[in-house]
Amino acid sequence: MSHTVEKIGGTSMSQYQDVLNNIWLNEKNGSISNRIFVVSAYAGITDLLLEHKKTGEAGVYSCFIDGEKEDAWLDMLGKLETRLLEINKDMFSGHYLSQANQFIRQRIADAQTCMTSLHSLCSYGHFQLQQHLATVREMLASIGEAHSAFNSTLLLKSRDINARFVDLTGWKTSEPLPMDEMIKQAFEGFDPSKQLLIATGYTHCQEQLMKTFDRGYSEMTFAKIAAVTGAREAIIHKEYHLSSADPKLAGKDNVIPIGMTNFDVADKLSNLGMEAIHPKAAQEIRKSGIKLRIKNTFEPEHLGTIIDQNYCNPRPCVEIIAGRKDIAAIEIFDQEMLGSIEHDLQISRLIQELKLQLVNKESDANSITFYLTGSRKKINRLVRLTEQKYPTAEVAIHKAAMVSAIGSDLKVKGILAKTVSALSDADINVMALHQTIRQVEMQCIVAESDYENAIRALHKTLVENENHGSVIRRYVAA
């Protein structure tokens, strides 16, 4: 088919007028058709439904599973409804406002009835609430995506655009289908050449997306729709360009939009929490032979970044300086570790059970260090469990940051020396340094307080001073 599948993130969705003008009504080849859109919930809504992604502040789901305050989830559900109705009021008036309000009120009422009944059912000893929590979490998450997709369809109809709401949430369906089959059935009979199709970013299916992807489910939905419908291209609209660094840190005038890179680089960014796309979603697109493009919602004429499986920069260089400052380095020293891989295996298993993200690890004869991200509570629990399992070990936690130089080809002579020299000149101490034979990423571990200065120092030395812009911009215009 000749259509594209395009995902719009939550931050962009909240700027709905910009999305309307820059994306939905922005003609391609003289037409606004041949596009399927997958939309995320409006910014902050999934935080209210589940829990705040960064702070952990309780949402409806968190309150529901908190046994100490049985009715707190009802209060939170009321706050959520108020917020959703405020969004509706900002977007619509008259008949369209009534439709939008009726839709979301019904979803929230259905969810409240379901959760109240479940609480009542689980008051009997034969039924355990714990067994149903994953389903409750998925049901709540779907409300945000259904709200934004329904509203988007209404907004287009109010402009006399032939738009169709494609509801993948499985609301009130008898049983879940395999994901591929769910998507296939949902799009059967629809013709993207004749109408704009607006699909929910959440798909209710047998695979239970949130068990594997948690809040990355919308990207998996996006990738699957592209694969199942045979899209020509997959496009992700974000509120920023995929650039050589964060412009807030390195300076807007200093960073360069990346014109082209590969999925290997995208995976490295994902590992640092700066997802261009979830690795599993990227895998689905890659297997289907579909090109992926990252675009800036607010610069519609810019061609964006192409992510292609076979791309390699014609001139080896650093393309992106990225990182994260919320790293906990868990160092385990134990002389009984010598010659054994048991410590590595057992502690890795604990990390997985606690659902901490492993960013990297290093080891020598009698010590191993895991670089992790996650809540302080879970980090402390990991330390306690490790000390219980290995009483002779010395376990220490170091607050750190990771700054990475990433590129499709980093086989540059002297790059390691330049990196260390740049950090030294900025009066930054390197706690650890990792570079693999693959030479796609070089990671520097520094003190958390040095994170921003490290980003600026490496971007200036490895990107700005090397004049890679001409190489990158040539591929933007290709």
d(CA 459, CA 250) in angstroms, rounded, equals 7
Q: Which strand (E) or helix (H) includes residue 419?
A: helix 415-425
Q: 3-class DSSP state for residue 379?
A: helix
Q: Which strand (E) or helix (H) includes residue 361?
A: strand 357-363
Distances (CA, A) of 251 to 302, 404, 428, 444: 20, 17, 20, 21
Q: Which residue ranges make up each domain of the chain?
A: 4-239, 320-463
Backbone φ and ψ for 274, nearest 5 degrees, come out as -115, 65
* Tens of pLDDT, residues 107-131: 999 999 999 998 887 767 666 677 7
Backbone φ and ψ for 405, nearest 5 degrees, come out as -100, 125
CB 400 within 8 A of CB 327: yes
Share of the chain above pLDDT 90, in %: 64
Q: Which pTM does this prediction carry?
A: 0.85
Q: Which strand (E) or helix (H) includes residue 360?
A: strand 357-363
Task: List helix spans (H) across 158-216.
Answer: 179-187, 209-213
Please tell me the predicted confidence (pLDDT) of residue 211. Answer: 81
d(CA 37, CA 341) in angstroms, rounded, equals 47
Instruction: Give the sheet arrangement for strand 357-363, strand by strand.
Output: 357-363, 367-373, 320-333, 394-406, 441-447, 430-435
Q: Predicted confidence band at 220 (pLDDT cuts at 50, 70, 90)? A: very high
Q: Predicted confidence band at 352 (pLDDT cuts at 50, 70, 90)? A: very high
Distances (CA, A) of 41 to 8, 44, 391, 444: 9, 8, 47, 35
* Tens of pLDDT, residues 256-305: 888 889 988 988 988 887 767 888 888 899 899 898 999 999 999 899 99
What is the DSSP pairing of strand 320-333 with strand 357-363? Answer: unpaired
Backbone φ and ψ for 203, nearest 5 degrees, come out as -120, 125
Q: Is 211 left (phi over 0), alpha (psi -120 to 50) or beta?
A: alpha
Please tell me the predicted confidence (pLDDT) of residue 179. Answer: 95
Q: In the predicted model, what is the mean pLDDT of the chain? A: 90
pLDDT > 50? residue 431: yes
CB 473 within 8 A of CB 260: no
CATH architecture, range 4-239: 3-Layer(aba) Sandwich (3.40)
Q: Predicted confidence band at 476 (pLDDT cuts at 50, 70, 90)? A: very low
The label of the residue with tokens 């376990």 reads 395
pLDDT > 90? residue 42: yes
Backbone φ and ψ for 270, nearest 5 degrees, come out as -60, -40
Half-sphere exposure of 394 (CA within 13 A, CB side): 4
pLDDT > 90? residue 209: no
Query: Domain 320-463 in CATH: superfamily?
Result: VC0802-like (3.30.2130.10)
